[in-house]
Structure formats: C-alpha cells, structure tokens
Amino acid sequence: MKTLIPILGDQLSHQISSLSGQDKGQAILLMVEVAEETAYVPHHKAKLSYILSAMRHHARDLESQGWQVDYVCLEDPQNCGNFTGEVVRAIEKHRPHKIRITEAGEWRVKAMLDSWGDRFEIPVEITADTRFIASHTEFEIWAADRKQLRMEFFYREMRRKTGLLMNKDKPEGGQWNYDTENRKPAKRDHQIPKPLHFPPDVLTQDVIDMVTTRFGNHIGYTVNFGFAVTRADALRQQTHFLDVALPHFGDYQDAMLTDEPFLWHSILSPYINSGLLDPLELCRNVEARYREGLVPLNAAEGFIRQVIGWREYVRGIYWFAGPDYVNRNALGASRPLPDFYWTGKTDMHCMAQSIGQTLDYAYAHHIQRLMITGNFALLAGINPVEVHQWYLAVYADAYEWVELPNTLGMSQFADGGMLASKPYASSGAYINRMSDYCRSCRYDVKQRTGPDACPFNALYWDFVARNAPMLSANPRMAMPYKNWGRMTDADQAALRSDAAKFLETLG
C-alpha cells in the first residue's frame, strides 16, 4: 500500500507531520522544483539559490535516512512546470494508494491542495503543520471575541502554553516584555560579531549557476552567497548566534550601522521558515542560555518574543484575515513603487544602505525593513500590493504567510489597524537616533524644509496631514497631531510643498 508524500519547498524537516508514523518501505517522497513557484514574483537570485539548494540537500539527507525520494529538478525536460501536473506524473509512475501531505503555508497553495480531492481518484490526506505552536483553531478561538487583536496578549498565551521564561504562572523577572531595554544605538567601537559564512559546495554552485543563467533578469546578486543549505550547517549557525551574538542581541536589536548588515542578529529566519531549524527547539536553547547565566533576560525575552510571539501572531493573522487580506488599502495609497527599490540608487543614505545590502545578501534586519524601506513607502503613499510584492521577492526568509501581514499590516497600516495599533511612521529623527546613516547622507536630517532637508521630515508631516481623517482619532497618534496643530499655516504649507516636490521626483 504505497503512499505518495509530496514535500513542499518550505517543509524541509524530518519532523514534518506528513512523515510521522509512515513506513519508509511503503512511502514515496515527491520533491519538485516548479517554474510557477520561481516566477510569481521576481525572487532574488540568492533566495532562489538558497531554496533550491536546500531542497536538493534535504532530498539527499532524506535518502540517507532510508526514504525513497522522487526528485524533479527545474532543468528536467519532463518537468511540466506546475506542482499538480508533477503529482499527476508521480501517480502514473508510482501507482500509490493515497496521497499524504502537510498543509500549505499560503492561501494560493492551499487552494491547489484542496483541488486535489476532486481531481485525483485516490484519497488525499492533509495533515496539520505541527511546527507551529498555535493551531489555526486555537488562534481563531483567541481572536473571536476580541475588539482588538494585539500581539502582546497573544504572546502571553504562547508563553503560558510553552512555559518559556515562566516562573510557575508568572513571567520570569516579573514582567512579560523588556522591549524598552532593547533600543540602544550601536557604536563602531563595539565588538560586532559576524555570522558564519558557508561557501557553496559543488551542488550549491551548480544551483547558483543555473539560477544566474535562467533568472538573470531577477533582482539581486549571488557573489556573497553564504547561506547554510543543510540542517547541520543551520545548526552550526544557530550555535554561533547563541554563543557570540545573543548576549547583546537585546540591547542592539533596533540599531543600524553603515556597512554592517548583520550586527547582533541571528540570520536564522530563512532556516526556520524553510524547515531546517525548529523554532521551539531554538527558543528552548535561548532560554537555557539565560538559565545558565550566559545571556541577560532582555536578550532572551526579546528573541523569544520575536519567534513565539510575533512570528506565531502574524501567521495567525494571515489565516484569520482570509485570502482577500492582500487587497486591503485602508489609507488609499496608490503611488507606484520607485525604481530605486530595485537598484538601490538613491541619495538617501539610509535607503541606499538597506536596499544595497538587500541586493547583496537577500537580507535586511527587521528595523531596516520596518523603519527604513517600509517607513519610506508608508510616508510616500506607495501602493501596498507593490510594497508586498517587493518584500516577498527580495528576502530569503519571505514566504507570504509571514511577509504579507508584516508588510501590509505592520509596515503599511493597510489593514487599518487589525494587526498593529498605530502606523509605524517616523521622520528622520528616529533614523538618526538609531543609526549612523545620517552622517554620510547628502541630506541634512536636522533640516525640515529646503532642498537639503532630509526627505523623511517633510514626508512624515505630509503623511500626518493627508491621513488626518483616518488617523487623528487614534490615541497613539495624539502627539503627532497635537504637534501638527501647533505649527503655523506657513510652516505646514512649506512642509507639504516640499513633500509634493520630492514625490514628483519619484516618477
């Protein structure tokens, strides 16, 4: 009684639920590289190289563990280009009695899996993805009767459920959240750690060469490619982070420095989201370092909050909001995405730095995404769908379930406050406080108007003014509107005029 078990590209785990309890002698694992997945947005060449290489290495690992794997490469001349068609070929080839697959992570893939029940004559069993702490039903129950959905309260439930950093029924240290201790700017005289770099092996280099040839018009470069593409190397990166960077991660997680793309960040999200690392296992390792006195509480709590709090929360929002969430545009933003998002060529040094390292590494940390590239798009009124598609394309850790709520809800406030309590908008003052970017910029962050003024300053007040009907009643926006009301008519007009002039230069 053979079972066909398709393994998707973000299910690279030996503990994936579809494999649980299966007889290796009666299972055929199907792994497919399909053209439709590589091109629905113009994925960064390093992102494609990472995913395809990790898939190929995982297939080898599965085979070494005794599984039979039917692997279809992108270059295979018989590859029909879509996943369902390859399942049809696999059914004809292997004659299985049923299909068993772990549930999809995205709405469009869920629709594909749901269609299989009607299309195929054999049973299709879809199992829950047990890599997450909260099930869909659990999040729906939590969210059902709430007037507002806020990550902080959901996070507390996840702490209670997992027992992470808990002292019986109380949070370790007496408070749930130490975010106020995690906002220090970094200085160049700090000893800044470097993540491990994994030079491509022969298999990975073959993938990179193929991607470079086949997707040469896609964004980004692969010359700096150094991702771990196996679980063993991902675990090495994990241990390196725990040993070297975690102790100061809390203090400097919001900091930014010129030509320092990684700082104290873990660089583990691509491995967590593709399946090479287990998020709960990682968090228990972080907690253990705190219990052993090796890292401070603000670092351990800050990291654990990102994983079992924020990551789980955005996944819950994604499925709770439904497939039409992507079309929300509460602020009516409609401006096209500027070309420099694809090239990094702009005089705004903070944007050039954040986009430039994105082109180089398919990576930027969360503050660069939220408060630099995301903040600019929010202030400039960029169409949130275009912003979403850019983030989905350029980052190696970007899968729609995690990227879309972060972009549409957290960054662009396009869901009107479903996910976050206020827009994350700021002038150049925040960027100057948390980075050294402004020191090397052709614009002056201290000037609010004029040809040399930081564009973020006029754009911020223009954002406040034009969105007053939507935002002025928001309690967390009371201070900006109070400050705007104190300005003279002439100052308000000058700011809005400068913003309009700058926006005209975007094309």
How far is residue 437 from each of residues 348, 375, 396, measured CA to CA in Å? 9, 15, 24
Cα-Cα-Cα-Cα torsion 155, 261, 284, 419, nearest 10 degrees, comes to 10
Edge-to-edge, what's the strand order for the sheet holding 98-102?
68-72, 27-32, 3-6, 98-102, 124-127
Could you say which of 1.25.40.10, 3.40.47.10, 1.10.579.10, 2.60.40.10 is the CATH number of the domain covering 340-504? 1.10.579.10
Take residue 36 and report the two structure tokens written for it.
């439709």
Task: Tell me how far the alpha carbon of residue 420 is from its chain's centroid.
Answer: 16
Segment 378-395 shows an average pLDDT of 98
pLDDT at 270 (0 to 100): 98
CA–CA distance, 507 with 500 (Å, rounded to integer): 12
Residue ranges of domains in the chain: 3-127, 136-320, 340-504
pLDDT at 328 (0 to 100): 98
Q: What is the pTM of this model?
A: 0.96
pLDDT digits (tens, 9 = 90+) for 362-376: 999 999 999 999 999
pLDDT at 412 (0 to 100): 98
**Dihedral of alpha carbons 330, 335, 337, 340, sign:** negative
**Dihedral of alpha carbons 241, 244, 249, 254, sign:** negative
pLDDT digits (tens, 9 = 90+) for 229-280: 999 999 999 999 999 999 999 999 999 999 999 999 999 999 999 999 999 9
| DSSP designation for 442 | S
pLDDT digits (tens, 9 = 90+) for 140-176: 999 998 989 999 999 999 999 999 999 999 999 999 9
CA–CA distance, 180 with 173 (Å, rounded to integer): 14
What element of type H or E holds 313? helix 312-321
Looking at the chain, the whole-number percentage of residues with pLDDT higher than 70 is: 100
pLDDT at 430 (0 to 100): 97
Is the pLDDT confidence value at 189 over 80? Answer: no
Lowest mean pLDDT among 6-20, 167-181, 182-196, 376-390: 182-196
pLDDT at 319 (0 to 100): 98
Look over the chain and give the mean of its residue pLDDT values, rounded to a whole number: 97
Cα-Cα-Cα-Cα torsion 479, 480, 482, 485, nearest 10 degrees, comes to 170
Helix, coil or strand: residue 249: helix
**Dihedral of alpha carbons 113, 114, 118, 123, sign:** positive
**Dihedral of alpha carbons 131, 136, 140, 143, sign:** positive
Q: Residue 448 — pLDDT band, cuts 50, 70, 90?
A: very high
Is the Cβ–Cβ distance between 107 and 17 less than 8 Å?
Answer: no
- How many Cβ atoms sit within 10 Å of the Cβ of residue 250? 24
pLDDT digits (tens, 9 = 90+) for 315-369: 999 999 999 999 999 999 999 999 999 999 999 999 999 999 999 999 999 999 9
pLDDT digits (tens, 9 = 90+) for 475-506: 999 999 999 999 999 999 999 999 999 999 99
Cα-Cα-Cα-Cα torsion 274, 256, 412, 105, nearest 10 degrees, comes to 10
Lowest mean pLDDT among 180-189, 203-212, 374-383, 486-495: 180-189
Q: Residue 392 — pLDDT band, cuts 50, 70, 90?
A: very high
pLDDT at 445 (0 to 100): 98
Beta-sheet pairing, 3-6 with 98-102: parallel
Q: Residue 133 — pLDDT band, cuts 50, 70, 90?
A: very high
For domain 3-127, the CATH class is alpha beta
Architecture of domain 136-320: Alpha Horseshoe (1.25)
Q: Residue 404 — pLDDT band, cuts 50, 70, 90?
A: very high
Segment 285-301 shows an average pLDDT of 98
CA–CA distance, 133 with 162 (Å, rounded to integer): 8
